[in-house]
């Protein structure tokens, strides 16, 4: 019996029909040329629509924008050096604390020194302030007005030396005490105030200075002059030549002062307002027969005592080797060079023998007493310490 032929599946027939149709469409597309795409003309910049405003808040300034001016840095005072007990407070409402090198003081801050202490503060724009022992001050104002520095501080006890070497313009540098105000326009000013009496004493080593009382009366000073207010309610005195002792204070208390400013060439200036100076061409004999000869005696320092022998020549001038010294206990000896002199007071600097450990540069002050004895004192100032000793010498 013959087998009947199997029928073709309907799904396979439909698939082949679909494939044939797709093939026909592909051939037709291959025979049709591609459409040409014409690029649009470039857009004109002015016809371009403005971009939408960004929603973020930080924007980049245009290249032509002028940058904002930087704010003027706040002025301050820096503790740069001190010896022995020095305290500071950051404001008048805070307690005193021990100072440290690099400490910064702003307006309202202050500093005070102990009985044997000294300190140096540097203002951020250049001026230098040095405090003597047993001194206290507070910063009242450290500002900049119209681009010029304005500095005010109150000295309530002791003594300060200041150097203002930069341009003040329309600014000012002012030291107030309870009885007066001292100002300097350059360059070296010292103010001392005694609380017990209310005395304010000003020395103007160089430049233009002024002392004004509480009622507005004032005295102007130039280099080498001094003036004072004797007490509360008193007017300032007339300007007078600085004394020898004041030149010595400058040379030992403010080592930044040029030596030619702190060396006195005569007992008084030749004319009012003239500044005493040491010169290489004028050497005037200063030592007197009353000082000449040999002197001996016991001297005492903080932790030693020793026999001292001085030998001084007569008719010796400034800058000349005028004698010798020898101290037994420290083992120091050398030559003495005359630095300043008056009728009864002589200042000499030590030049120690190179083979000895003692440094050169110490200052000896000799003062003739009415009884024929000689008051002797010594001072040597370094960045780390202040060495001092004293005694009374007699002729052997």
**Please, what are the domains in the chain?**
77-262 (2.60.120.1440), 293-393 (2.40.128.320)
pLDDT, tens only, 236-272:
999 999 887 788 788 878 888 877 676 654 434 444 4
| pLDDT the model gives residue 356 | 61
Model confidence at 382, in pLDDT bands (50, 70, 90)? low
Percent of the chain with pLDDT over 70: 72
Per-residue pLDDT band for 357 (boundaries 50, 70, 90) equals low
| C-alpha–C-alpha distance, residues 375 and 366, integer Å | 6
Residue with the bigger pLDDT between 50 and 297: it is 297
pLDDT at 28: 44
The tally of CA atoms less than 13 A away on the side-chain side of residue 205 is: 31
pLDDT at 76 over 90: no
Cβ atoms within 10 Å of 168's Cβ, excluding its own: 17
DSSP one-letter code for 189 = E
pLDDT for position 31: 43
Q: Which two tokens stand for residue 222?
A: 């130039």
Within a 10 A sphere around the Cβ of 97, how many other Cβ atoms? 11
Q: What is the pLDDT of residue 384?
A: 54
pLDDT at 129: 93
Q: What is the mean pLDDT of residues 26-39?
A: 43
- Name the nearest CA neighbour of 223 among 190, 180, 266: 190
Spatial distance between the Cα atoms of 174 and 182, rounded to a whole number of angstroms:
6
Residue 196 scores a pLDDT above 80: yes
Q: How far is CA 267 from CA 99, 263, 270, 326, 338, in A?
A: 40, 11, 9, 28, 14
Handedness of CA 236, 242, 246, 247 (dihedral sign): positive
Q: CB–CB of 277/318 below 8 Å?
A: no
Report how far apart, in Å, the C-alpha atoms of 177 and of each of 152, 201, 249 are: 11, 10, 20
Residue 71's pLDDT is what?
A: 55
Instruction: Give 5's pLDDT tier (boundaries 50, 70, 90).
Output: very low
- The pLDDT value recorded for residue 310 is 95
Q: For residue 29, what pLDDT is reported? A: 43
Do residues 203 and 237 make contact, with C-beta atoms less than 8 angstroms apart?
A: no
Q: Nearest Cα to 366, choosing from 320, 299, 304?
A: 299
Q: What's the CA gap between 95 and 355, in Å, rounded?
A: 49
Work out the average pLDDT over 10-14.
41
Q: Are 366 and 268 in contact (CB under 8 A)?
A: no
In this model, does residue 103 exceed pLDDT 80? yes
Least-confidence region, from 4-8, 184-188, 192-196: 4-8
The H or E element containing residue 10 is helix 10-31
What is residue 263's predicted lDDT score, i.e. its pLDDT?
A: 62
Residue where the block lists tokens 């500093």:
111
Taking only the tens place, the pLDDT of each residue in 206-235 is 889 999 999 999 999 998 899 999 999 999
285 burial (CB, 10 Å; 0-12 / 13-18 / 19+) is middle
């Amino acid at each position: 019996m013959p087998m009947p032929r199997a029928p073709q599946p309907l799904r396979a027939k439909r698939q082949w029909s679909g494939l044939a149709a797709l093939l026909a469409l592909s051939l037709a597309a291959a025979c049709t040329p591609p459409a040409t795409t014409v690029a649009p003309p470039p857009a004109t910049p002015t016809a371009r629509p403005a971009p939408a405003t960004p929603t973020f808040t930080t924007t980049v300034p245009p290249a032509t924008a002028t940058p904002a001016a930087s704010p003027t840095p706040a002025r301050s005072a820096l503790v740069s050096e001190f010896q022995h007990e020095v305290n500071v407070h950051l404001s008048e409402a805070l307690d005193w604390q021990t100072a440290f090198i690099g400490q910064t003081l702003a307006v309202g801050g202050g500093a005070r020194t102990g009985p044997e202490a000294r300190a140096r503060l540097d203002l951020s724009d250049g001026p230098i302030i040095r405090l003597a022992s047993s001194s206290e001050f507070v910063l009242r104002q450290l500002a900049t007005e119209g681009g010029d520095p304005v500095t005010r501080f109150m000295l309530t006890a002791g003594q300060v030396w200041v150097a203002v070497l930069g341009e003040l313009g329309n600014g000012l540098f002012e030291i107030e005490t309870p009885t007066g105000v001292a100002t300097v326009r350059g360059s070296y000013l010292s103010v001392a105030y005694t609380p017990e009496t209310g005395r304010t004493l000003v020395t103007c080593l160089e430049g233009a200075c002024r002392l004004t009382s509480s009622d507005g009366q004032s005295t102007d000073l130039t280099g080498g002059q001094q003036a004072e207010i004797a007490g509360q309610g008193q007017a300032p005195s007339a300007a007078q030549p600085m004394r020898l002792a004041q030149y010595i204070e400058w040379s030992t208390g403010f080592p930044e002062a040029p030596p030619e400013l702190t060396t006195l060439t005569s007992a008084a200036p030749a004319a009012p307002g003239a500044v005493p100076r040491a010169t290489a061409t004028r050497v005037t004999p200063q030592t007197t027969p009353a000082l000449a000869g040999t002197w001996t005696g016991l001297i005492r320092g903080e932790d030693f005592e020793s026999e001292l022998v001085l030998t001084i020549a007569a008719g010796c001038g400034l800058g000349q080797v005028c004698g010798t010294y020898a101290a037994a206990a420290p083992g120091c000896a050398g030559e003495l060079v005359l630095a300043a002199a008056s009728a009864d007071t002589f200042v000499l600097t030590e030049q120690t023998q190179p083979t000895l450990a003692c440094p050169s540069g110490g200052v000896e002050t000799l003062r003739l007493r009415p009884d024929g004895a000689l008051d002797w004192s010594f001072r040597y100032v370094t960045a780390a310490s202040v060495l001092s000793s004293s005694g009374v010498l007699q002729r052997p």
